[in-house]
């Protein structure tokens, strides 16, 4: 159920493409554990319009009341006294967030009215394009840092699945990476929406990355807000294995980015996370390269042993690629966006980001191998 609150907009707090946060003052029931009637509330102006100071707004505070992490915000659902004008007529009949009160209609890159429909009708594969798959959204800037350290001009496209946030506008990381030119484009698939292109599923998202945005490499992971239940199979990152399968079906080169931590207090996520062990070892049924960072020390030994066991039980499906990590911390420090995973910075959980960067570094070797002539540096 939606937990409704009414509030009055006081001021704009911050904004980035597709999203804005306002300070609002509650005018009805107070929030649990709240010491102030003024709280931050997120709006997606393309969906609900742009609130102004003094406007009455209706809020959904269910996630805020429960104290959730990434998505634990008050959300502006409507500005009832100042409804936005109807959007201009446009093609497209793909509905995202289907059958919810806030469903939105978009033009899919793969549907009949799209200018790219014919291209995608005739596209059957992605010609060994590297596809880096990762469990967490926070891996995206780290992957790009490792990739760009070797191939700075690589055309990288982010394919955002719907395991976490549905609106890509929620991600300040994507906004910052796009502004800095680190991403050549974004594609939202499934129920996710708001990318440069919309696609029905991961398969057509990858085809669009290759044939419409002409990517050198694609990165597939969920949006912000990983869902986990402390159970072997109950986490949204299981879709990472399905992305490997989709890559193989389309003739791509899957690169499995390992989720590694040296700081997570949960034993199941120390060293190589059980998410990676399960997803790559039991969900993925197709071949993939698995870059393993040579971290050194006790953690490095543990990670290498885990990776070797995982590769062994895959019966050759997972190809272990031991990766030198020299220079990767420096490359990570060049990120145009803040590096953060589960609230931990690069300094607090360096292994996590280095592992993702190692996957980017390995993918760069695949890009260079596909290019005629000298390496692209």
Query: SS3 for 212?
Result: coil
Parallel, antiparallel, or unpaired: how do β-strands 271-272 and 260-261 relate? antiparallel
Query: What average pLDDT score do residues 243-260 get?
Result: 97
Last residue of a domain, one of 48, 78, 108: 78
Identify whether 86 is part of a domain: no
Q: What is the pTM of this model?
A: 0.89
Taking 3-state DSSP, the helix, strand and coil percentages for the chain, each rounded to the nearest 5, stand at 30, 25, 45
Q: Do 29 and 150 belong to one domain?
A: no
The enclosing domain of 330 has a CATH number of: 3.40.50
Q: Determine how many CB atoms are found less than 10 A away from the CB of residue 41.
A: 26
Same domain (yes/no): 156, 280 = yes
pLDDT single digits (tens) 54-65: 999 999 998 888
What pLDDT band is residue 373 in, cutting at 50, 70 and 90?
A: very low
Q: Could you give the number of structural domains in the chain?
A: 2
Do residue 258 and residue 142 come from a single domain? yes
Tell me the pLDDT of the chain averaged across its residues. Answer: 91
How would you classify residue 145: left for phi > 0, otherwise alpha for psi between -120 and 50, otherwise beta? alpha
Among the candidates 56, 78, 100, a domain finishes at: 78
Phi, psi of 361 (to 5 degrees): -65, -40
Rounded to whole angstroms, how far apart are CA atoms 139 and 354? Answer: 10
Same domain, 152 and 244: yes
Q: Same domain for 73 and 146? A: no
**Is residue 269 domain-resident?**
yes
CATH number at residue 60: 2.40.50.220
Residue 166 backbone class (left: φ over 0; alpha: ψ -120 to 50; beta: rest): alpha
Has residue 17 got a pLDDT over 80? yes
Domain range enclosing 311? 117-370
pLDDT at 32: 58
**Phi, psi (5° rounding) for residue 128?**
65, 20
C-alpha–C-alpha distance, residues 262 and 256, integer Å: 19
State the Cα–Cα distance between residues 155 and 35, nearest whole angstrom. Answer: 47
**What tens digit of pLDDT does each residue of 183-241 get?**
999 999 999 999 999 999 999 999 999 999 999 999 999 999 878 887 878 888 889 99
For residue 274, pLDDT over 90 is answered with no
Same domain? 187 vs 335 = yes
Q: Does 181 lie in the same domain as 54?
A: no
Cα–Cα separations (whole angstroms), residue 172 to 104, 164, 167, 177, 216: 21, 14, 11, 9, 24
Q: φ, ψ for residue 25 (rounded to 5)?
A: -105, 125
91 — pLDDT class (breaks 50, 70, 90) = confident
Do 146 and 43 belong to one domain? no
């Amino acid at each position: 159920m939606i937990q409704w609150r009414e509030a009055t907009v006081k001021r704009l707090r911050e904004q980035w493409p597709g999203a804005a946060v306002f300070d609002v003052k509650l005018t009805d029931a107070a929030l649990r554990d709240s010491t102030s009637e003024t709280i931050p509330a997120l709006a997606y102006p393309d969906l609900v319009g742009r609130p102004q100071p003094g406007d009455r707004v209706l809020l959904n505070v269910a996630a805020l009341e429960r104290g959730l992490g990434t998505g634990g915000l008050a959300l502006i659902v409507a500005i009832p006294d100042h409804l936005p004008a109807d959007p201009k007529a446009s093609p497209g009949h793909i509905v995202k967030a289907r059958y919810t009160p806030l469903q939105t209609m978009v033009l899919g890159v793969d549907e009949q009215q799209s200018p790219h429909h014919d291209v995608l009708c005739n596209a059957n594969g992605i010609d060994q394009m590297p596809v880096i798959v990762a469990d967490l959204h926070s891996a995206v800037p780290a992957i790009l840092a490792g990739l760009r350290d070797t191939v700075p001009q690589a055309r990288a496209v982010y394919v955002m699945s719907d395991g976490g946030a549905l609106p890509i506008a929620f991600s300040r990381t994507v906004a910052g990476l796009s502004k800095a030119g680190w991403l050549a484009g974004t594609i939202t698939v499934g129920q996710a929406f708001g990318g440069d292109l919309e696609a029905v599923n991961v398969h057509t998202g990858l085809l669009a990355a290759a044939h419409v945005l002409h990517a050198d490499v694609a990165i597939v992971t969920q949006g912000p807000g990983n869902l986990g239940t402390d159970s072997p199979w109950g986490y949204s990152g299981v879709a990472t294995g399905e992305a490997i399968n989709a890559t193989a079906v389309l003739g791509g080169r899957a690169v499995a980015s390992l989720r590694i931590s040296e700081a997570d207090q949960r034993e199941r996520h120390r060293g190589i996370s059980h998410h990676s062990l399960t997803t790559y070892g039991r969900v993925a049924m197709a071949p993939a390269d698995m870059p393993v960072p040579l971290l050194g020390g006790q953690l490095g030994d543990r990670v290498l042993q885990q990776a070797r066991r995982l590769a062994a039980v895959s019966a050759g499906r997972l190809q272990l690629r031991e990766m030198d990590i020299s220079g990767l911390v420096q490359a990570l420090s060049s990120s145009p966006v803040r590096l953060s995973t589960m609230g931990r910075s690069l300094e607090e959980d360096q292994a996590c980001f280095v592992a993702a960067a190692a996957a980017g570094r390995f993918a760069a070797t695949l890009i260079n191998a596909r290019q005629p002539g000298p390496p692209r540096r």
